[in-house]
Structure 1
Amino acid sequence: MNVMKQALAIGILSTAVVSLPSVAAFAPRPLPPPPPPRNPPPPTVETGALDDTLATIIQNQGLTGVIPAAEHQPNISDPIAQLGMKLFFTKGIGGEKSVACASCHHPSLGGTDALSLAVGVNAVREDVVGPGRRPADEEINIPRNSPTVFNTGLAPRALFWDGRVERVTQTQPDGSVVTGVSTPDSGLGVIDTAVPDNLVDALSRFPVTSTEEMRGTGFPDATTTAEIRQHIASRIGDYGSEEGDLATNDWLAEFRSAFNSNESRESLITFDSVAMALSSYQQSMTFVDTDWHRYVRGDKAALNDAQKRGAVLFFTPQNQGGAGCVGCHSGERFTNDGFFNLAFPQLGPGKEADHSDKGRGLVSNVPRDQFAFKVPSLINVALTAPYGHAGAYRNLPEVVRHYTNPPASVDAFFARGGACSLRQFSRFTDCESLNQNAIENSEEALRLLGQSPFQPARLNQEQQQDLVAFLESLTDHCAKDKTCISQFIPSNQQTNPDNLRLNATDGRGNPL
């Protein structure tokens, strides 16, 4: 890994000069070829044989192509989900009225923002979403990649990269067992009695309290998260300390219609009802109609041969010549909902003074959780680039390559400039600041990975391409269709209760 520091410096300098003498002498070492598989890979087979192999795999894995929980999520046409959509897109719930939930989680961008690291309250142009969203003074102060909000309603255990919102079970003194959700407000493993037993509802309560994400300098007298949320509810409800804070405020009519209630604004518009609506909307974005699931249900034409070969590799253990991905990405949702350190490159401000981000370890304080992050579902993964907790990998081929040789992939990342090689930061005048301690932190994550049960997948280039093809088959048909996804975005024909709707555009001003 010593080569990383030398290669990083050269990668950065090469962006500032036309040429350098004897660059070849300092060129980063090439990625070594993958070692030969311990067992020969499955031979090339005809389509019929692939189908037979996959039929056995599907049976052994107990797959049906159906996710029962998906049938029980709210529908986007439900009144409360419609209210939640309007709340999700209003900048009125941001402390400075400059950022909406959709600023970092837009349906047109796979439920995320297409950035390596999110840009919250300090965006130069607040309605720009996606790669053109730039922070004022090039200041990146959010340390993580925005996870998708698609299919959050299907997660049974935890949300956020570090699982800090988590379903827990507690045994009471009388021997009874209760379940609930622990949050940063209650502490790890302790049920937060202020939230319902709904992970998405609980999740919806925290971005608005983050100074970097949505709060900014708003509500300066608030000293607790509960007080921040009360200010937001009062602003939306037009009562109390925030009465008149919105120049236009028609939210009471929206809440009364959605909840079919004539309660007073103080009783009806609380942060509980705001979170319920936001949760309903996010849960309505359940997108699981993929070619793979259609194939499992019997449509053998849903996948092409490359995708079928990739599926065989995905589900086949490494000691049988496969990639063994199913060890963590299992079941109909392609995740075991656990946490694992894969030593994806560290970059950016991080969560600690040394710019590291130890992920789950910061929540649990358990040594084995250092640098571990939530194992994501792979459904719709093709829509959510860049990848990793800090968005270090630009595309799926880079992700798959990491699994074949993590040290070499991390080397390659820093050889091309680390953070400076990423689209989001390539024009920053001081992108090198985002690499501060990044090599050292990445080396530590790799050291811990070497002590784990992880084994690199022994895949040649063609097999890696097949695996990527399979991952692309995990994309929902509506999620990738602009017309279909538009029903999850407020239209100009719908009411705009506070005239603060995020009218998202790309960096060139084109509507998303």
Structure 2
Amino acid sequence: MNNANFLRAMALVTAVASLPIAAQHKPLPPPPPGQPQPNSALDDELSQIMRARGITGRVAGAQQLPRISDPIAQLGMQLFFSKALGGEKSVACASCHDPRLGGADGLSLPIGTNAVESDVIGPGRQAVDDDINIPRNSPTIFNTGFANNALFWDGRVQRVTITDDQGNESSFISTPDSGFNQPDVNAADSLVATLSRFPVTSREEMRGEAFESAETNEQVRSHLAQRIGDYGDEAGGLATNDWLQAFREAFNSQADAQTLITFDSIAFALGQYQASFVMVDTDWHRYARGDRGALSVQQKRGAKLFFTPVAEGGAGCVGCHSGERFTNDGFFNLAFPQYGIGTQDNQADIGRAAIDPSPRNQFAFRVPSLINVALTAPYGHAGAYESLEQVVNHYSNPELTVEQFFQRGGACGLKQFSLTAQCDTLNLQARENSEAALALLRQSPFVAANLAPQQKQDLVAFLHALTDKCAKDQQCVRRWVPNRRTPDPDNLRLHAQR
């Protein structure tokens, strides 16, 4: 111990000795953040769990993803917030995926082209005549650059890997344009860039009633590229158009608009922007890298429950939410409440089975990453649960938690629809469809975790430890939001209001 540390230690001993006896026995405050923490028995148990599961606290691939300061990511940001990519120039990508709302929209079910006020985002966004016409909750765009298996709730944009007779692997991307398990020759190189090709073609999400002459998705995209590039059938489609200069600067090219501004380049820029959301600096990951003070004792108890199988007294969450990203990238039926317009004639949403009708895919949805999950309520494919507590209760007792959802009024009990005149229409067939999903869950390997109230609280506390420090900091996430100095090439930027 050097002299300075010795003098500080002696001063502390003297100060404690001068206190009344009762005060001397009060616990000392924890060391400041960043200081070494002594290992507890719980820390030792978690260390064993992490070693057994190969957890390092480092998410592979983060260094290879673009940064928001990159020129093409900046162009992608301008496009992401421009309503010019909406067919009727009334909706932007950011209308349902705002960085300030956890990369989503804070709604149970999103509202796209039929919003009452186009610039209102989040819980205040309302649909014309309360007409909800999109069946699924908006997923977060945070960390989508890490996805290498599938995107969308049903995984309809998917990377398919095949192995030949010699054991050599190759892969392609399958999309709704190509059909399930078939290569889409127009797909981008990455899933996140390919993802950007589809919301713009949906009448409910972004297209609206524009481009009536377009008979295919590719024709819709061509119209949008011509609009942004100010050429072809859409020349003059924007009253203000400085996009060519923006593309030339981002791509460092002096090519003409028809060469440079294609939908491929638009999708690439949008993909670079979304992939730049590297939001994995969480308390848990710092703990896994050795900072034993990064988690509270309650969060450590929750972590142990999370990683321990149900058969051993844990919650068993790791069965699906595994690895550094907390997902196995698979599909599973958890029988979250069915309500809303669904995807079928009976208003059911059968999930993955709509594109791959295997029995195991009935009511199955993509297992999301849990990183930043505390920021992305409401939860589930239709946003039926408004808190993490409700989600944890579902894993403990699905039948009871679904019944409680309906006792609260089903759709009418959700904040988004509680004051709407049409909420009862979202409950049509909801109980029957929910029971169908529950019946399949009972036949699956799923085993409910019998958790005590304190254990549930511990588990929720741990889930809060999976939040990136930037993602929850409004000042930090503003780097992904255009500011006054950011060029506005078409004067159609979404000026979000809440």
Deviations 1:360-381 (A, max 9, x none): 0101011110000000000000
Asked if 1:361 corresponds to 2:347, the answer is no
Tell which deviates more after alignment, 354-363 or 196-205: 196-205
2:263 equivalent in structure 1: 271
Aligned residue for 2:448, secondary structure, equals coil
2:183 equivalent in structure 1: 191
2:114 equivalent in structure 1: 122
Aligned residue for 2:123, secondary structure, equals coil
Q: How does 1:63-462 map to 2 (within 5 A)?
A: 63-170=55-162, 177-462=169-454
Q: CA deviation at 1:132?
A: 0.2
Q: Is the 8 A contact 1:47 1:305 kept in 2?
A: no
Letter in 1 for 2:428: Q
Distance 1:177 1:72 in 2: 22
Distance 1:173 1:96 in 2: 50
Aligned residue for 2:181, secondary structure, equals coil
Letter in 2 for 1:437: Q
**1:230/1:172 CA distance change after superposition, 3 Å:** farther
How high is the TM-score relative to the length of structure 1? 0.89
Aligned residue for 1:180, secondary structure, equals strand
Q: Is the 8 A contact 1:180 1:196 kept in 2?
A: no
Letter in 1 for 2:204: E
2:6 equivalent in structure 1: none
Q: Is the 8 A contact 1:341 1:370 kept in 2?
A: yes
1:35 equivalent in structure 2: none
2:475 equivalent in structure 1: 483
Aligned residue for 1:179, secondary structure, equals strand
Distance 1:239 1:191 in 2: 30
Distance 2:95 2:402 in 1: 30
Q: Is the 8 A contact 2:131 2:422 kept in 1?
A: no
2:489 equivalent in structure 1: 497
Q: CA deviation at 1:170?
A: 3.8
Distance 1:334 1:188 in 2: 26
1:42 equivalent in structure 2: none
For the pair shown, the structure with the greater C-alpha radius of gyration is 2
Distance 1:474 1:71 in 2: 20
**Unpaired segments ≥5 residues, structure 2:** 1-37
Aligned residue for 1:131, secondary structure, equals helix
Q: CA deviation at 1:311?
A: 0.1
Q: CA deviation at 1:197?
A: 2.8
Letter in 1 for 2:266: V
2:3 equivalent in structure 1: none
Aligned residue for 2:158, secondary structure, equals strand
Q: Is the 8 A contact 2:336 2:384 kept in 1?
A: yes
**1:333/1:176 CA distance change after superposition, 3 Å:** closer
1:15 equivalent in structure 2: none
**1:174/1:452 CA distance change after superposition, 3 Å:** closer
Q: CA deviation at 1:118?
A: 0.5
**1:62/1:115 CA distance change after superposition, 3 Å:** same
Distance 1:380 1:324 in 2: 20
Letter in 1 for 2:460: V
Q: CA deviation at 1:246?
A: 0.3
Q: How does 1:7-86 map to 2 (within 5 A)?
A: 48-86=40-78
Q: Is the 8 A contact 2:188 2:264 kept in 1?
A: no
Q: Is the 8 A contact 1:98 1:126 kept in 2?
A: yes
Aligned residue for 2:489, secondary structure, equals coil
Q: CA deviation at 1:282?
A: 0.1
Q: Is the 8 A contact 1:179 1:197 kept in 2?
A: no
Q: CA deviation at 1:430?
A: 2.2
Q: CA deviation at 1:174?
A: 10
Deviations 1:317-363 (A, max 9, x none): 11211111111100000000000000000111000111000000101
Letter in 1 for 2:218: A
1:36 equivalent in structure 2: none
Q: CA deviation at 1:47?
A: 7.1
Asked if 1:463 corresponds to 2:455, the answer is yes
Tell which deviates more after alignment, 290-299 or 189-198: 189-198
Distance 1:212 1:482 in 2: 29
Identity of aligned residues (%): 62
How high is the TM-score relative to the length of structure 2? 0.91
Distance 2:457 2:363 in 1: 28
Letter in 2 for 1:237: G
Deviations 1:132-155 (A, max 9, x none): 000000000000000011101111
Distance 2:164 2:283 in 1: 45
Tell which deviates more after alignment, 172-181 or 205-214: 172-181
Letter in 1 for 2:285: H
Q: Runs of at least 4 residues of structure 1 off by over 2 A?
A: 169-178
Q: CA deviation at 1:196?
A: 2.7
Aligned residue pairs, count:
461
Distance 2:429 2:329 in 1: 30
Provide the alpha-carbon RMSD of the alignment: 1.3
Letter in 2 for 1:367: P
2:32 equivalent in structure 1: none
Q: Is the 8 A contact 2:308 2:314 kept in 1?
A: yes
**1:462/1:176 CA distance change after superposition, 3 Å:** closer
Distance 2:367 2:487 in 1: 38
Q: CA deviation at 1:176?
A: 6.5
Q: CA deviation at 1:505?
A: 1.1
